[in-house]
Amino acid sequence: MMSYKFALDEINTKIDILKQEFQYIHEYNPIEHVKSRVKSPESILKKVYKKGYDLSLSVIKENVKDIAGIRITCSFISDIYELSNMLQNQPDINVLEVKDYIKNPKPNGYQSLHLVLQVPIFMSDRVEEVCVEVQIRTIAMDFWASLEHKIYYKYNQAVPQHLLNELKEAADSATQLDKKMEGIHKEMKELKEACNRQVELNNLPQLILNS
């Protein structure tokens, strides 16, 4: 469990560095929230029994990839893919799996980008390669997923069909909201770039005189 905690610390540090660098260079922060957790031993055992795995440390480490998990909430869909690329391109990260539930949502409407990343943890006498599952989603996706989880918990997984239908409609509405906000974000970015180009053109004569 200690190794998984260290792996979370490692990935969290990488995310924080990217967040600060992005803010400094682009004057914009694509990350709204970051939440991390290590599964409890009880939760791990429950998953092992559910999947029918052998009860051994080696089997658990090989098959249970979400013992350490990080959830990143971004402002826009484009931020999700940009952040994902920045993480995947780091040389000490080994990308084991990518599941894109944004381009291919689950039947119930769930959307998120899932990455299973493997990072080296340098202990005093060895190096361990530890898996961390990273989920990246927008605020709207995260809001929907949180409520969906609460509803399933309340009904003990037996959710009435009419509520399932309404959840799917809500997921579709969240998708439309994300697309609308993405369009506004893109337009504002283009306006800012155009203004910057105009400022540069206005300053060009003075720059030529000074040279």
**Beta partners for residue 36, in sequence order:** 70
Q: Quote the tokens at residue 69.
A: 């998990």
Residue 52 has a CB neighbour count (10 Å cut-off) of 6
Residue environment code for 183-203, b if the CB has 16+ CB neighbours within 10 A, otherwise e: eebeeeeeeeeeeeeeeeeee
Candidates 62, 82, 128, 133; catalytic one? 133
- Catalytic, 42? Answer no
**Strand positions, DSSP E, 88-126:** 94-100, 113-122
Tell me how far CA of residue 169 lies from CA of 142, 200, 201, in angstroms.
15, 47, 48
* Residues involved in catalysis: 133
